[in-house]
Amino acid sequence: MAVSKDRHKPFGVDLDPNKDLTHTTQPDGDVKVTHKGEKIRYMDYIDIMEERATRKGEGKSPVKSDMKLFGGFGKGTLKKAYEH
């Protein structure tokens, strides 16, 4: 099995393009992980990496966009290309 020195690039695939995950091994052998600067449990870190690997395997960006789009309710005021 190939082992990457960069823990967020297994097999050369970048799963942390925004560099928002940290994974630090402590002197006692424990692991300290953070996501977007906040401490998280190691199992949550594994879940995030698994979700990103799945998204990458589906041909999507490994990181979901934080931007949410909402079109609103009811009839819009924008003219469609087929309406004159």
- What pLDDT score does 28 carry? 92
Query: CA-to-CA distance for 82 and 84, rounded, in angstroms?
Result: 7
- The DSSP call for residue 48 is H
pLDDT at 84 over 90: no
Name the pLDDT band for 40 (thresholds 50, 70, 90).
very high
- What pLDDT score does 19 carry? 86
Per-residue exposure over 44-68, b if at least 16 CB sit within 10 Å of its own CB, e if not? ebeebbeebeeeeeeeeebbeeeee
Yes or no: say if 61 and 55 are a contact pair by the CB < 8 Å rule: yes
- What pLDDT score does 66 carry? 62
For 15-25, how does the pLDDT look when each residue is reduced to its tens digit (9 = 90+)? Answer: 888 888 888 88
